[in-house]
Amino acid sequence: MQKLEPIIAALTKRGEQLVAMRVAAQATLDKATKARQEALLSGDLSDQRALENLQTAVNTAASSVAGLDDALAVLDQDKAEAEVQLAAALESAKRTAAADKLAKQVAAIEAALPGYLEQSRILAGALAEIGHWHVESGQIAGFVQNVMGQTEVAANFALVELAAMPGAIRQGRQVIPGEPPPVPVAAAIDPTPETQTVFMLRSAHYRDYDGRKRFAGQWEDAIMPLATAQRALRERVAVPVTDPRRAELRGMRGGDFNPTAPDVVDLDAIDEYQNAPLTEPDPVLRAANFTEIDRSDEARSIQIEVPRT
């Protein structure tokens, strides 16, 4: 390649020079041909010497054009042959590089395979020792042994084929392996929306961050957008997962839910400001200093007197 590239560059430059000379020679030929034509049409035909000089000029110019055409044809052929040789050299270099790369990859596989199989046997043996009483370990051991056996059998065939490929690539009997596709640049990942897990005291509908309608069943945990979870806590539709009632009631419904039941709360339809405190509370109530006690979740009973009949 180091020899051919300068040769092709020199032939290209010489070709450009010959083309320029051929243009000039053609202009000379056209001029001489026109002069001879004018002499034959309107000149003194008795002046043989003048006519012979005009003919000589035409012959000389035509010979120059023909000679340049021959030179350009030979030069084009030489350049084409050099370019073919350069392409072959480039292909040979490319094949050699690909073959060397594949040979190293195959060698790495051959070196890693025995260690992988040995470590797989050790792992399967360790798992099998406790597999008689730990079912999952026994299943893992069987899976590892199965994969190990299939890998060993497949590798025996694949490595024979792979070992012969570098030589075939060098000799042109095997296509050059393609390069792996470029790894796409990871798109910017949106930050994970903030959520909160709550324990539902009542069944409810709500929308997630994608706008999809969700259902949360009574006495089950629900993962909600933070604002929705806070609303559920304010409305006493849910309580924090630290609430002691969660330990007693979680899963008691056994999945027996009717999302269309009339008592299902729609958290998105609740006015967020309906329970907000007044900006200017009543001065009489403020002076009385009442304390609000929440007894909505307490179980209580009262006695009333009724007349007997």
Percent of the chain with pLDDT over 70: 84
Q: Which residue has the higher pLDDT, 166 or 294?
A: 166
Nearest to 206 by CA among 220, 191, 217: 217
- Each residue of 210-231: pLDDT tens digit? 888 899 999 899 999 999 999 9
Q: What would the mean pLDDT of 70-94 be, rounded to a whole number?
A: 93
Q: Is 280's pLDDT higher than 60?
A: no
User: At residue 214, what is the residue type?
Assistant: R
Q: What would the mean pLDDT of 84-112 be, rounded to a whole number?
A: 92
- CA of 44: how far to CAs of 52, 57, 59, in Å? 12, 18, 21
State the pLDDT at residue 279: 43
Please report which confidence band the pLDDT of residue 31 belongs to, taking 50, 70 and 90 as the band edges. very high
Please report which confidence band the pLDDT of residue 286 belongs to, taking 50, 70 and 90 as the band edges. low
Q: Is 41's pLDDT higher than 80?
A: yes
Q: Is 13's pLDDT higher than 90?
A: yes
State the pLDDT at residue 178: 80
Average of per-residue pLDDT values in the chain: 86
Q: What would the mean pLDDT of 177-184 be, rounded to a whole number?
A: 75
Q: Any idea of the CA torsion for 32, 34, 36, 39, to the nearest 10 degrees?
A: -140
- Which residues are registered as beta bridge partners of 207? 213
Least confident range of 139-143, 144-148, 204-208, 248-252: 248-252
Q: Any idea of the CA torsion for 216, 218, 224, 227, to the nearest 10 degrees?
A: 120
Any idea where the domains of the chain sit in the sequence? 1-177, 195-276
How do 195-200 and 238-240 pair as beta strands? antiparallel
Q: Which residues of 211-234 are buried (b: 16+ CB within 10 A; e: fewer)?
A: eeebebbbbbebebbeebbebbbe
User: At residue 309, what is the residue type?
Assistant: T
Please report which confidence band the pLDDT of residue 3 belongs to, taking 50, 70 and 90 as the band edges. confident
